[in-house]
Amino acid sequence: MAKELDFLTKRSEDYSRWYNELVVKADLAEQADVRGCMVIKPYGYAIWEKMQRILDDKFKETGVQNAYFPLLIPKSFLSREAEHVEGFAKECAVVTHYRLKTNETHDGVVVDPAARLEEELIIRPTSETIIWNTFKNWIHSYRDLPLLVNQWCNVMRWEMRTRLFLRTSEFLWQEGHTAHATREEAEERAKMMLRVYADFAENYMAVPVVQGVKSETERFAGALDTYTIEAMMQDGKALQSGTSHFLGQNFGKAFEVQFLNKENQPEYAWATSWGVSTRLMGALIMTHSDDNGLVLPPALAPTQVVIIPIYKNDEQLQKVNDAVAPVVARLKELGISVKYDNADNKRPGFKFADYELKGVPVRLVLGARDLENGTVEVMRRDTLEKETLPFEGIADRVKDLLADIQQNIFQKAKTFRDAHIYECEDYEEFKCRVKDGGFFLCHWDGTPETEARIKEETQATIRCVPFAFEQTPGTDMVTGKPAVARVLIARSY
RNA sequence: CGGGGUGUAGCGCAGUUGGUAGCGCACCUGGUUUGGGACCAGGUGGUCGCCCGUUCGAGUCGGGUCACCCCGACCA
Protein backbone atom coordinates (compact mmCIF):
# COMPACT_ATOMS: atom_id res chain seq x y z
CA MET A 1 0.00 0.00 0.00
CA ALA A 2 1.33 3.33 -1.01
CA LYS A 3 1.84 5.92 1.68
CA GLU A 4 0.24 8.50 -0.51
CA LEU A 5 -2.80 8.89 1.65
CA ASP A 6 -0.93 11.01 4.18
CA PHE A 7 -2.74 14.03 2.87
CA LEU A 8 -6.05 12.54 3.88
CA THR A 9 -5.01 12.23 7.43
CA LYS A 10 -2.53 14.90 8.30
CA ARG A 11 -4.92 16.45 10.75
CA SER A 12 -4.18 13.48 13.00
CA GLU A 13 -0.76 12.71 14.48
CA ASP A 14 -1.67 9.07 14.43
CA TYR A 15 -2.27 9.10 10.73
CA SER A 16 -0.35 6.05 9.63
CA ARG A 17 -2.69 3.82 11.58
CA TRP A 18 -5.63 5.76 10.28
CA TYR A 19 -4.96 5.52 6.57
CA ASN A 20 -4.08 1.87 6.76
CA GLU A 21 -7.38 1.20 8.38
CA LEU A 22 -9.32 3.39 6.07
CA VAL A 23 -7.81 2.37 2.83
CA VAL A 24 -6.97 -1.24 3.30
CA LYS A 25 -9.99 -2.28 5.25
CA ALA A 26 -12.51 0.21 3.95
CA ASP A 27 -11.64 -0.96 0.47
CA LEU A 28 -11.54 2.50 -0.97
CA ALA A 29 -8.65 2.34 -3.32
CA GLU A 30 -5.15 1.17 -3.74
CA GLN A 31 -2.28 2.30 -5.81
CA ALA A 32 -1.68 0.34 -8.96
CA ASP A 33 1.83 0.12 -10.33
CA VAL A 34 0.98 2.43 -13.19
CA ARG A 35 2.28 5.78 -12.08
CA GLY A 36 -0.36 7.84 -10.36
CA CYS A 37 -3.33 5.78 -11.47
CA MET A 38 -5.80 4.38 -9.02
CA VAL A 39 -7.78 1.25 -8.47
CA ILE A 40 -11.14 2.04 -7.00
CA LYS A 41 -12.35 -0.98 -5.09
CA PRO A 42 -16.02 -1.99 -5.11
CA TYR A 43 -17.00 -0.18 -1.92
CA GLY A 44 -15.44 3.08 -3.03
CA TYR A 45 -16.91 2.68 -6.50
CA ALA A 46 -20.38 2.23 -5.04
CA ILE A 47 -20.06 5.70 -3.55
CA TRP A 48 -18.95 7.11 -6.89
CA GLU A 49 -21.89 5.41 -8.64
CA LYS A 50 -24.28 7.00 -6.23
CA MET A 51 -22.73 10.40 -6.88
CA GLN A 52 -23.02 9.81 -10.60
CA ARG A 53 -26.68 8.87 -10.41
CA ILE A 54 -27.65 11.94 -8.42
CA LEU A 55 -25.64 14.37 -10.54
CA ASP A 56 -26.88 12.80 -13.74
CA ASP A 57 -30.49 13.31 -12.70
CA LYS A 58 -29.78 16.92 -11.86
CA PHE A 59 -28.15 17.53 -15.22
CA LYS A 60 -31.12 16.04 -17.02
CA GLU A 61 -33.48 18.28 -15.06
CA THR A 62 -31.71 21.21 -16.70
CA GLY A 63 -32.12 19.74 -20.18
CA VAL A 64 -28.70 18.17 -20.57
CA GLN A 65 -28.37 14.87 -22.45
CA ASN A 66 -25.60 12.31 -22.24
CA ALA A 67 -23.36 11.42 -25.16
CA TYR A 68 -19.98 9.86 -25.72
CA PHE A 69 -16.94 11.03 -27.65
CA PRO A 70 -13.63 9.30 -28.51
CA LEU A 71 -10.81 8.73 -26.06
CA LEU A 72 -8.18 9.54 -28.67
CA ILE A 73 -7.89 13.01 -30.12
CA PRO A 74 -5.80 13.95 -33.16
CA LYS A 75 -2.91 16.08 -32.00
CA SER A 76 -3.80 18.87 -34.40
CA PHE A 77 -7.19 19.39 -32.73
CA LEU A 78 -5.52 20.49 -29.54
CA SER A 79 -3.56 23.26 -31.18
CA ARG A 80 -6.60 24.90 -32.72
CA GLU A 81 -7.24 26.99 -29.63
CA ALA A 82 -4.02 28.72 -28.59
CA GLU A 83 -4.56 29.10 -24.84
CA HIS A 84 -6.05 25.65 -24.55
CA VAL A 85 -3.01 23.95 -26.05
CA GLU A 86 -0.75 26.08 -23.88
CA GLY A 87 -2.58 24.85 -20.81
CA PHE A 88 -2.64 21.14 -21.55
CA ALA A 89 0.31 20.40 -23.84
CA LYS A 90 2.69 19.65 -20.97
CA GLU A 91 0.55 16.91 -19.51
CA CYS A 92 -0.67 14.91 -22.49
CA ALA A 93 -0.02 11.22 -23.05
CA VAL A 94 0.63 10.67 -26.74
CA VAL A 95 -0.13 7.62 -28.88
CA THR A 96 2.49 7.26 -31.60
CA HIS A 97 2.12 3.64 -32.76
CA TYR A 98 -0.67 1.17 -33.27
CA ARG A 99 1.14 -2.16 -33.11
CA LEU A 100 3.65 -4.23 -31.17
CA LYS A 101 5.68 -7.17 -32.39
CA THR A 102 7.71 -9.91 -30.70
CA ASN A 103 11.31 -8.99 -30.16
CA GLU A 104 14.32 -10.71 -31.67
CA THR A 105 14.86 -13.02 -28.73
CA HIS A 106 11.16 -13.95 -28.67
CA ASP A 107 10.76 -13.30 -24.99
CA GLY A 108 8.94 -10.01 -25.11
CA VAL A 109 7.40 -7.37 -27.33
CA VAL A 110 8.65 -4.15 -28.83
CA VAL A 111 6.93 -1.29 -30.60
CA ASP A 112 6.78 -2.02 -34.31
CA PRO A 113 8.53 0.94 -35.94
CA ALA A 114 6.57 0.28 -39.12
CA ALA A 115 3.35 1.01 -37.30
CA ARG A 116 4.04 4.66 -36.66
CA LEU A 117 0.94 6.84 -36.85
CA GLU A 118 0.96 9.55 -39.45
CA GLU A 119 -0.59 11.94 -36.98
CA GLU A 120 -0.09 11.24 -33.30
CA LEU A 121 -3.16 10.89 -31.12
CA ILE A 122 -3.41 12.27 -27.66
CA ILE A 123 -5.33 10.64 -24.86
CA ARG A 124 -8.00 13.18 -23.91
CA PRO A 125 -7.04 15.43 -21.02
CA THR A 126 -10.50 17.01 -21.56
CA SER A 127 -12.74 16.90 -24.60
CA GLU A 128 -13.47 20.46 -25.69
CA THR A 129 -11.57 20.05 -28.92
CA ILE A 130 -13.06 16.81 -30.18
CA ILE A 131 -16.53 17.81 -29.07
CA TRP A 132 -16.42 21.19 -30.75
CA ASN A 133 -15.03 19.57 -33.86
CA THR A 134 -18.19 17.45 -33.80
CA PHE A 135 -20.47 20.34 -32.92
CA LYS A 136 -19.47 21.94 -36.19
CA ASN A 137 -21.59 19.36 -37.95
CA TRP A 138 -24.46 19.54 -35.51
CA ILE A 139 -24.99 23.28 -35.43
CA HIS A 140 -26.21 25.23 -38.44
CA SER A 141 -29.12 27.31 -37.24
CA TYR A 142 -30.18 29.16 -34.11
CA ARG A 143 -32.86 26.45 -33.97
CA ASP A 144 -30.12 23.90 -33.19
CA LEU A 145 -29.27 25.81 -30.04
CA PRO A 146 -28.81 25.49 -27.20
CA LEU A 147 -26.99 22.19 -27.53
CA LEU A 148 -26.50 20.64 -24.09
CA VAL A 149 -24.43 17.47 -23.81
CA ASN A 150 -22.56 15.71 -21.07
CA GLN A 151 -20.28 12.71 -21.04
CA TRP A 152 -19.16 10.43 -18.24
CA CYS A 153 -15.68 9.18 -18.99
CA ASN A 154 -12.08 8.90 -17.98
CA VAL A 155 -9.41 11.43 -18.84
CA MET A 156 -5.66 11.44 -18.46
CA ARG A 157 -3.33 14.21 -17.41
CA TRP A 158 0.31 13.33 -16.98
CA GLU A 159 0.94 15.35 -13.86
CA MET A 160 4.43 15.52 -12.44
CA ARG A 161 3.13 14.78 -9.00
CA THR A 162 0.03 12.82 -8.14
CA ARG A 163 -2.08 12.51 -5.02
CA LEU A 164 -4.56 9.73 -4.62
CA PHE A 165 -8.11 10.89 -5.39
CA LEU A 166 -7.04 14.54 -5.65
CA ARG A 167 -4.73 14.34 -8.63
CA THR A 168 -4.34 10.95 -10.25
CA SER A 169 -3.05 10.83 -13.79
CA GLU A 170 -6.14 8.98 -14.93
CA PHE A 171 -9.40 9.98 -13.35
CA LEU A 172 -13.12 9.54 -13.83
CA TRP A 173 -15.30 12.55 -14.34
CA GLN A 174 -18.19 14.09 -16.13
CA GLU A 175 -17.68 16.88 -18.57
CA GLY A 176 -20.60 18.94 -19.81
CA HIS A 177 -20.30 20.92 -23.02
CA THR A 178 -22.89 23.36 -24.19
CA ALA A 179 -23.31 25.65 -27.18
CA HIS A 180 -25.51 28.74 -27.17
CA ALA A 181 -26.74 31.46 -29.47
CA THR A 182 -26.00 34.32 -27.10
CA ARG A 183 -23.34 35.35 -24.66
CA GLU A 184 -25.90 35.92 -21.92
CA GLU A 185 -27.37 32.46 -22.26
CA ALA A 186 -23.96 30.80 -22.13
CA GLU A 187 -22.89 32.82 -19.10
CA GLU A 188 -26.13 31.92 -17.35
CA ARG A 189 -25.60 28.24 -18.14
CA ALA A 190 -22.09 28.30 -16.68
CA LYS A 191 -23.44 29.84 -13.49
CA MET A 192 -26.41 27.48 -13.44
CA MET A 193 -24.18 24.41 -13.52
CA LEU A 194 -22.06 25.84 -10.73
CA ARG A 195 -25.23 26.10 -8.67
CA VAL A 196 -26.00 22.46 -9.47
CA TYR A 197 -22.56 21.51 -8.17
CA ALA A 198 -22.92 23.62 -5.05
CA ASP A 199 -26.32 22.09 -4.36
CA PHE A 200 -24.90 18.61 -4.78
CA ALA A 201 -21.88 19.33 -2.59
CA GLU A 202 -23.89 20.83 0.24
CA ASN A 203 -27.11 18.80 0.21
CA TYR A 204 -25.79 15.38 -0.73
CA MET A 205 -22.10 15.33 0.15
CA ALA A 206 -22.74 17.57 3.15
CA VAL A 207 -19.67 19.57 2.14
CA PRO A 208 -20.12 23.33 2.47
CA VAL A 209 -18.61 25.24 -0.45
CA VAL A 210 -17.76 28.79 -1.37
CA GLN A 211 -18.95 29.73 -4.84
CA GLY A 212 -16.98 32.25 -6.78
CA VAL A 213 -15.13 33.21 -9.90
CA LYS A 214 -11.44 32.52 -10.55
CA SER A 215 -8.81 35.15 -11.15
CA GLU A 216 -7.40 35.39 -14.66
CA THR A 217 -4.30 33.35 -13.86
CA GLU A 218 -6.28 30.56 -12.24
CA ARG A 219 -8.71 30.29 -15.14
CA PHE A 220 -9.21 27.19 -17.24
CA ALA A 221 -7.09 27.21 -20.39
CA GLY A 222 -9.24 28.84 -23.05
CA ALA A 223 -11.95 30.20 -20.76
CA LEU A 224 -13.16 33.78 -20.35
CA ASP A 225 -14.44 33.02 -16.88
CA THR A 226 -14.04 30.04 -14.59
CA TYR A 227 -16.55 29.59 -11.80
CA THR A 228 -15.59 27.36 -8.91
CA ILE A 229 -16.78 25.74 -5.73
CA GLU A 230 -14.11 25.68 -3.04
CA ALA A 231 -14.37 23.40 -0.04
CA MET A 232 -12.30 23.51 3.14
CA MET A 233 -10.67 20.31 4.32
CA GLN A 234 -10.13 19.47 7.98
CA ASP A 235 -6.57 20.80 7.86
CA GLY A 236 -7.84 24.17 6.65
CA LYS A 237 -6.59 23.77 3.10
CA ALA A 238 -8.84 24.52 0.16
CA LEU A 239 -9.96 21.96 -2.38
CA GLN A 240 -11.32 23.06 -5.72
CA SER A 241 -14.21 20.65 -5.99
CA GLY A 242 -15.91 21.58 -9.23
CA THR A 243 -15.57 24.13 -12.00
CA SER A 244 -17.81 25.61 -14.66
CA HIS A 245 -16.33 27.61 -17.51
CA PHE A 246 -17.69 30.32 -19.74
CA LEU A 247 -15.65 29.81 -22.88
CA GLY A 248 -16.92 32.72 -24.94
CA GLN A 249 -16.61 32.15 -28.67
CA ASN A 250 -13.07 30.81 -28.44
CA PHE A 251 -13.96 27.27 -29.39
CA GLY A 252 -16.70 28.37 -31.75
CA LYS A 253 -14.11 30.33 -33.69
CA ALA A 254 -11.33 27.76 -33.41
CA PHE A 255 -13.57 24.99 -34.78
CA GLU A 256 -15.64 27.22 -37.05
CA VAL A 257 -18.93 26.46 -35.39
CA GLN A 258 -21.22 29.02 -36.95
CA PHE A 259 -24.97 29.25 -37.08
CA LEU A 260 -27.42 31.51 -38.87
CA ASN A 261 -29.36 33.73 -36.50
CA LYS A 262 -32.91 34.97 -36.93
CA GLU A 263 -31.62 37.80 -39.10
CA ASN A 264 -29.98 35.25 -41.36
CA GLN A 265 -26.55 36.42 -40.24
CA PRO A 266 -23.75 33.95 -39.41
CA GLU A 267 -22.54 33.99 -35.81
CA TYR A 268 -20.09 31.95 -33.80
CA ALA A 269 -21.59 29.78 -31.09
CA TRP A 270 -20.98 30.58 -27.44
CA ALA A 271 -19.64 27.81 -25.25
CA THR A 272 -19.51 26.49 -21.71
CA SER A 273 -17.94 23.45 -20.15
CA TRP A 274 -18.19 22.14 -16.62
CA GLY A 275 -16.95 19.13 -14.72
CA VAL A 276 -16.56 17.28 -11.48
CA SER A 277 -14.36 14.26 -10.93
CA THR A 278 -13.42 11.46 -8.56
CA ARG A 279 -11.70 14.27 -6.69
CA LEU A 280 -15.10 14.63 -5.01
CA MET A 281 -14.32 11.32 -3.32
CA GLY A 282 -11.27 12.97 -1.80
CA ALA A 283 -13.38 15.92 -0.69
CA LEU A 284 -15.88 13.60 0.93
CA ILE A 285 -13.21 11.69 2.82
CA MET A 286 -11.22 14.70 3.91
CA THR A 287 -14.23 16.68 5.07
CA HIS A 288 -15.98 14.18 7.31
CA SER A 289 -13.67 11.33 8.26
CA ASP A 290 -12.42 10.85 11.80
CA ASP A 291 -9.92 8.54 13.46
CA ASN A 292 -12.37 5.64 13.27
CA GLY A 293 -12.53 5.87 9.50
CA LEU A 294 -15.01 7.18 6.98
CA VAL A 295 -18.09 9.14 7.90
CA LEU A 296 -20.48 9.03 4.98
CA PRO A 297 -23.47 11.30 4.54
CA PRO A 298 -26.61 9.13 4.43
CA ALA A 299 -27.43 10.49 0.98
CA LEU A 300 -24.31 8.87 -0.46
CA ALA A 301 -23.74 5.86 1.78
CA PRO A 302 -24.05 2.61 -0.21
CA THR A 303 -25.37 1.03 2.98
CA GLN A 304 -27.28 3.42 5.20
CA VAL A 305 -28.13 1.05 8.02
CA VAL A 306 -26.41 -2.09 9.21
CA ILE A 307 -28.06 -4.50 11.63
CA ILE A 308 -25.89 -6.80 13.73
CA PRO A 309 -27.26 -9.71 15.75
CA ILE A 310 -25.76 -10.84 19.05
CA TYR A 311 -26.29 -14.52 19.82
CA LYS A 312 -24.77 -17.48 21.62
CA ASN A 313 -26.31 -20.30 19.62
CA ASP A 314 -28.40 -21.10 16.57
CA GLU A 315 -31.62 -20.91 18.50
CA GLN A 316 -30.93 -17.35 19.63
CA LEU A 317 -29.80 -16.36 16.16
CA GLN A 318 -33.03 -17.70 14.72
CA LYS A 319 -35.02 -15.57 17.14
CA VAL A 320 -33.07 -12.47 16.17
CA ASN A 321 -33.47 -13.32 12.47
CA ASP A 322 -37.23 -13.52 12.93
CA ALA A 323 -37.36 -10.23 14.82
CA VAL A 324 -35.18 -8.39 12.30
CA ALA A 325 -36.96 -9.51 9.12
CA PRO A 326 -39.91 -7.10 9.37
CA VAL A 327 -37.58 -4.22 10.26
CA VAL A 328 -35.51 -4.87 7.15
CA ALA A 329 -38.70 -4.99 5.09
CA ARG A 330 -39.96 -1.74 6.58
CA LEU A 331 -36.62 0.05 6.05
CA LYS A 332 -36.61 -1.02 2.40
CA GLU A 333 -40.18 0.21 2.11
CA LEU A 334 -38.94 3.58 3.33
CA GLY A 335 -36.28 3.59 0.62
CA ILE A 336 -33.43 2.95 3.03
CA SER A 337 -30.59 0.65 2.05
CA VAL A 338 -30.01 -1.82 4.83
CA LYS A 339 -27.68 -4.72 5.44
CA TYR A 340 -28.45 -7.40 7.99
CA ASP A 341 -25.08 -8.93 8.78
CA ASN A 342 -25.68 -12.24 10.51
CA ALA A 343 -22.59 -13.86 9.05
CA ASP A 344 -21.14 -16.05 11.77
CA ASN A 345 -17.53 -15.93 10.63
CA LYS A 346 -16.90 -12.56 12.26
CA ARG A 347 -17.46 -11.57 15.86
CA PRO A 348 -19.70 -8.62 16.72
CA GLY A 349 -16.82 -6.43 17.87
CA PHE A 350 -15.11 -6.89 14.54
CA LYS A 351 -18.27 -5.98 12.67
CA PHE A 352 -18.76 -2.85 14.76
CA ALA A 353 -15.28 -1.60 13.97
CA ASP A 354 -15.49 -2.61 10.33
CA TYR A 355 -18.74 -0.80 9.58
CA GLU A 356 -17.51 2.27 11.40
CA LEU A 357 -14.48 2.21 9.17
CA LYS A 358 -16.75 2.05 6.15
CA GLY A 359 -18.77 4.98 7.41
CA VAL A 360 -22.18 3.30 7.59
CA PRO A 361 -24.35 6.05 9.15
CA VAL A 362 -26.52 3.96 11.48
CA ARG A 363 -25.96 0.67 13.26
CA LEU A 364 -28.63 -1.37 14.99
CA VAL A 365 -27.64 -4.10 17.42
CA LEU A 366 -30.08 -6.73 18.58
CA GLY A 367 -29.46 -9.55 21.06
CA ALA A 368 -31.28 -11.83 23.47
CA ARG A 369 -31.34 -9.08 26.08
CA ASP A 370 -33.12 -6.75 23.66
CA LEU A 371 -35.63 -9.38 22.60
CA GLU A 372 -36.62 -9.77 26.25
CA ASN A 373 -36.87 -6.03 26.86
CA GLY A 374 -38.35 -5.09 23.48
CA THR A 375 -35.41 -2.76 22.77
CA VAL A 376 -32.66 -2.23 20.22
CA GLU A 377 -29.33 -0.46 20.45
CA VAL A 378 -28.88 2.35 17.93
CA MET A 379 -25.52 3.89 17.13
CA ARG A 380 -25.00 6.90 14.89
CA ARG A 381 -21.67 7.09 13.08
CA ASP A 382 -21.30 10.86 13.09
CA THR A 383 -21.21 11.25 16.87
CA LEU A 384 -20.61 7.59 17.79
CA GLU A 385 -23.42 7.96 20.35
CA LYS A 386 -25.27 4.82 21.42
CA GLU A 387 -28.84 4.78 22.56
CA THR A 388 -31.22 2.00 23.54
CA LEU A 389 -34.63 2.57 21.97
CA PRO A 390 -37.92 0.69 21.89
CA PHE A 391 -37.90 -1.93 19.14
CA GLU A 392 -41.41 -1.00 18.11
CA GLY A 393 -41.40 1.47 15.22
CA ILE A 394 -37.61 1.54 15.00
CA ALA A 395 -37.51 1.73 11.20
CA ASP A 396 -39.35 5.03 11.13
CA ARG A 397 -37.11 6.43 13.84
CA VAL A 398 -34.09 5.41 11.80
CA LYS A 399 -35.43 7.35 8.85
CA ASP A 400 -35.54 10.49 10.98
CA LEU A 401 -32.14 9.74 12.39
CA LEU A 402 -30.62 9.49 8.90
CA ALA A 403 -32.02 12.90 8.04
CA ASP A 404 -30.60 14.24 11.28
CA ILE A 405 -27.15 12.81 10.55
CA GLN A 406 -27.16 14.31 7.07
CA GLN A 407 -27.93 17.70 8.59
CA ASN A 408 -25.53 17.31 11.46
CA ILE A 409 -22.43 16.47 9.48
CA PHE A 410 -23.11 19.36 7.14
CA GLN A 411 -23.53 21.72 10.08
CA LYS A 412 -20.39 20.41 11.72
CA ALA A 413 -18.37 20.95 8.55
CA LYS A 414 -19.92 24.37 8.04
CA THR A 415 -19.28 25.49 11.59
CA PHE A 416 -15.68 24.39 11.24
CA ARG A 417 -15.28 26.18 7.96
CA ASP A 418 -16.92 29.40 9.08
CA ALA A 419 -14.70 29.47 12.15
CA HIS A 420 -11.70 29.37 9.82
CA ILE A 421 -12.67 32.14 7.43
CA TYR A 422 -10.77 35.26 8.44
CA GLU A 423 -10.85 38.83 7.24
CA CYS A 424 -7.32 40.04 6.87
CA GLU A 425 -5.95 43.42 5.81
CA ASP A 426 -2.37 43.07 6.98
CA TYR A 427 0.09 41.14 4.83
CA GLU A 428 2.55 40.39 7.63
CA GLU A 429 -0.25 38.93 9.71
CA PHE A 430 -1.46 37.03 6.68
CA LYS A 431 1.96 35.50 6.03
CA CYS A 432 2.07 34.34 9.61
CA ARG A 433 -1.39 32.85 9.81
CA VAL A 434 -1.97 31.37 6.37
CA LYS A 435 0.46 28.53 7.14
CA ASP A 436 -2.03 27.14 9.65
CA GLY A 437 -4.76 26.88 7.06
CA GLY A 438 -8.05 28.64 6.69
CA PHE A 439 -9.66 30.92 4.13
CA PHE A 440 -8.60 34.56 4.14
CA LEU A 441 -10.79 37.33 2.81
CA CYS A 442 -8.45 40.02 1.56
CA HIS A 443 -8.52 43.04 -0.70
CA TRP A 444 -6.62 42.66 -3.94
CA ASP A 445 -5.47 45.20 -6.48
CA GLY A 446 -6.35 42.87 -9.33
CA THR A 447 -2.84 42.49 -10.72
CA PRO A 448 -1.27 39.14 -11.58
CA GLU A 449 1.98 40.48 -10.08
CA THR A 450 0.49 40.75 -6.62
CA GLU A 451 -1.12 37.38 -7.01
CA ALA A 452 2.21 35.84 -8.02
CA ARG A 453 3.98 37.47 -5.11
CA ILE A 454 1.51 36.07 -2.60
CA LYS A 455 1.93 32.61 -4.10
CA GLU A 456 5.70 32.89 -4.13
CA GLU A 457 5.95 34.08 -0.54
CA THR A 458 3.21 32.06 1.14
CA GLN A 459 2.29 29.19 -1.24
CA ALA A 460 -1.27 30.42 -0.94
CA THR A 461 -3.33 31.25 -4.00
CA ILE A 462 -6.38 33.28 -4.78
CA ARG A 463 -9.09 30.65 -4.77
CA CYS A 464 -11.83 32.90 -6.10
CA VAL A 465 -13.73 36.13 -5.87
CA PRO A 466 -16.54 34.80 -3.71
CA PHE A 467 -20.13 35.66 -4.59
CA ALA A 468 -21.56 35.47 -1.12
CA PHE A 469 -19.26 37.87 0.72
CA GLU A 470 -19.74 41.56 0.62
CA GLN A 471 -17.48 43.43 -1.78
CA THR A 472 -16.39 46.26 0.50
CA PRO A 473 -14.00 48.86 -0.91
CA GLY A 474 -10.46 48.81 0.43
CA THR A 475 -6.79 48.77 -0.39
CA ASP A 476 -4.65 45.85 -1.45
CA MET A 477 -3.21 43.94 1.47
CA VAL A 478 0.20 43.67 -0.18
CA THR A 479 0.69 46.81 -2.26
CA GLY A 480 -1.65 49.29 -0.57
CA LYS A 481 -3.11 50.20 -3.97
CA PRO A 482 -6.88 50.55 -4.38
CA ALA A 483 -8.51 47.14 -4.45
CA VAL A 484 -10.65 45.87 -7.33
CA ALA A 485 -12.05 42.94 -5.37
CA ARG A 486 -12.17 41.15 -2.09
CA VAL A 487 -10.83 37.68 -2.71
CA LEU A 488 -10.59 34.38 -0.92
CA ILE A 489 -6.99 33.27 -0.42
CA ALA A 490 -5.85 29.91 0.91
CA ARG A 491 -3.36 27.16 0.59
CA SER A 492 -4.85 24.43 -1.49
CA TYR A 493 -4.49 20.87 -2.70
C1' C B 1 14.14 17.85 -12.90
C1' G B 2 16.36 19.35 -7.75
C1' G B 3 16.55 17.89 -2.12
C1' G B 4 15.50 13.82 1.30
C1' G B 5 14.01 8.73 2.30
C1' U B 6 12.68 3.48 1.58
C1' G B 7 13.13 -1.48 -0.92
C1' U B 8 13.39 -8.48 3.52
C1' A B 9 6.30 -13.29 3.42
C1' G B 10 -0.22 -10.62 1.14
C1' C B 11 0.40 -6.04 4.75
C1' G B 12 3.51 -3.58 8.64
C1' C B 13 8.45 -4.29 10.25
C1' A B 14 13.20 -6.46 12.91
C1' G B 15 17.74 -8.53 11.46
C1' U B 16 23.86 -7.12 16.28
C1' U B 17 31.08 -7.57 14.75
C1' G B 18 29.47 -10.97 7.49
C1' G B 19 27.99 -17.60 9.25
C1' U B 20 22.74 -20.00 5.36
C1' A B 21 15.94 -15.63 7.59
C1' G B 22 12.67 -13.80 11.96
C1' C B 23 8.34 -11.00 14.57
C1' G B 24 3.23 -8.95 14.47
C1' C B 25 -1.15 -8.90 11.51
C1' A B 26 -3.55 -11.71 7.70
C1' C B 27 -4.38 -16.77 5.84
C1' C B 28 -5.37 -22.46 6.74
C1' U B 29 -6.79 -26.71 10.49
C1' G B 30 -8.90 -28.12 15.30
C1' G B 31 -11.14 -26.62 19.81
C1' U B 32 -13.22 -23.01 23.21
C1' U B 33 -15.78 -18.37 22.32
C1' U B 34 -19.43 -14.30 20.55
C1' G B 35 -23.13 -6.94 23.94
C1' G B 36 -16.52 -3.20 21.03
C1' G B 37 -11.46 -5.43 16.38
C1' A B 38 -11.42 -13.24 20.77
C1' C B 39 -8.14 -17.05 22.89
C1' C B 40 -5.18 -21.65 22.83
C1' A B 41 -2.57 -25.26 19.91
C1' G B 42 -0.71 -26.58 15.23
C1' G B 43 0.29 -25.10 10.11
C1' U B 44 1.04 -22.58 4.89
C1' G B 45 3.90 -18.74 2.86
C1' G B 46 10.42 -15.39 1.25
C1' U B 47 16.00 -16.88 -5.13
C1' C B 48 16.16 -10.34 1.20
C1' G B 49 14.33 -4.87 -5.71
C1' C B 50 18.04 -6.09 -9.67
C1' C B 51 23.31 -6.52 -11.53
C1' C B 52 28.50 -6.67 -10.65
C1' G B 53 32.36 -7.03 -7.11
C1' U B 54 35.09 -8.29 -2.19
C1' U B 55 35.00 -13.03 0.70
C1' C B 56 35.55 -19.92 2.23
C1' G B 57 30.75 -17.52 3.05
C1' A B 58 26.79 -11.36 1.68
C1' G B 59 20.01 -9.49 3.78
C1' U B 60 24.54 -7.35 6.13
C1' C B 61 30.55 -4.60 3.03
C1' G B 62 31.77 -1.75 -1.91
C1' G B 63 30.18 -0.03 -6.87
C1' G B 64 26.25 0.45 -10.24
C1' U B 65 21.14 0.26 -11.53
C1' C B 66 15.80 0.17 -11.07
C1' A B 67 11.35 1.12 -8.51
C1' C B 68 8.48 3.56 -5.04
C1' C B 69 7.47 7.44 -1.26
C1' C B 70 8.00 12.51 0.93
C1' C B 71 9.20 17.94 0.09
C1' G B 72 9.53 21.44 -4.16
C1' A B 73 8.76 23.06 -9.46
C1' C B 74 3.72 21.77 -12.36
C1' C B 75 -1.57 21.06 -11.88
C1' A B 76 -8.22 19.71 -11.26
The C-alpha atoms of residue A313 and residue A344 are separated, in whole angstroms, by 10
ipTM: 0.86
The C-alpha atoms of residue A154 and residue A126 are separated, in whole angstroms, by 9
Closest residue (CA) to C1' of nucleotide B35 is A310
Give residue A390's pLDDT band: very low, low, confident or very high (50, 70, 90). very high
Residue A308: nearest nucleotide (C-alpha to C1'): B35
Beta-bridge mates of residue A375: A390
On strand B, nucleotides with any atom < 7 Å from a protein CB are 1, 11-12, 33-38, 67-76
CA of A105 to C1' of B53 (A): 28
CA of A90 to C1' of B2 (A): 19
pLDDT digits (tens, 9 = 90+) for A88-136: 888 888 888 898 887 776 766 778 889 999 999 999 999 999 999 999 9
Taking CA atoms, A81 is separated from A4, A85, A94, A256, A486, in Å, by 35, 6, 18, 11, 31
Taking CA atoms, A402 is separated from A315, A363, A480, in Å, by 32, 11, 50
The C-alpha atoms of residue A185 and residue A146 are separated, in whole angstroms, by 9
A6-88+125-288 folds as BirA Bifunctional Protein; domain 2 (3.30.930)
pLDDT digits (tens, 9 = 90+) for A311-356: 999 999 999 999 999 999 999 999 999 999 999 889 999 999 889 8
Q: Tell me how far apart the terminal alpha carbons of chain A are, to the nearest angstrom.
A: 22
pLDDT digits (tens, 9 = 90+) for A56-83: 999 999 999 999 999 999 999 988 998 8
CA A335-A336-A341 angle, 5° bins: 140
CA of A160 to C1' of B73 (A): 9
Give residue A14's pLDDT band: very low, low, confident or very high (50, 70, 90). very low
Question: Taking the CA of residue A145 as centre, how many other CA atoms within 13 Å lie in the half-sphere pointing to its CB?
Answer: 29
* Statement: A305-401 belongs to CATH 3.40.50.800: yes
Residues 6+ apart with CB under 8 A from A16: A3
Residues 6+ apart with CB under 8 A from A462: A214, A215, A218, A444, A451, A454, A487, A488, A489
Residue A375: nearest nucleotide (C-alpha to C1'): B35
pLDDT digits (tens, 9 = 90+) for A394-443: 999 999 999 999 999 999 999 999 999 999 999 999 988 998 889 999 99
CA of A2 to C1' of B7 (A): 13
**Identical fold, A6-88+125-288 and A421-490:** no
Phi and psi at A180, nearest 5°, equal -135, 160
pTM: 0.93
CA of A17 to C1' of B21 (A): 27
pLDDT digits (tens, 9 = 90+) for A213-260: 999 999 999 999 999 999 998 888 899 999 999 999 999 999 999 999
Residue A228: nearest nucleotide (C-alpha to C1'): B76
CA of A16 to C1' of B15 (A): 23
As a whole number, the mean pLDDT across chain A is 89
Residue A357: nearest nucleotide (C-alpha to C1'): B37
Architecture of domain A421-490: 2-Layer Sandwich (3.30)
User: What is the percentage of chain A residues whose pLDDT exceeds 70?
Assistant: 92
pLDDT value for A109: 74
Residue A349: nearest nucleotide (C-alpha to C1'): B36
CA of A451 to C1' of B72 (A): 19
Domain ranges of chain A: 6-88+125-288, 305-401, 421-490
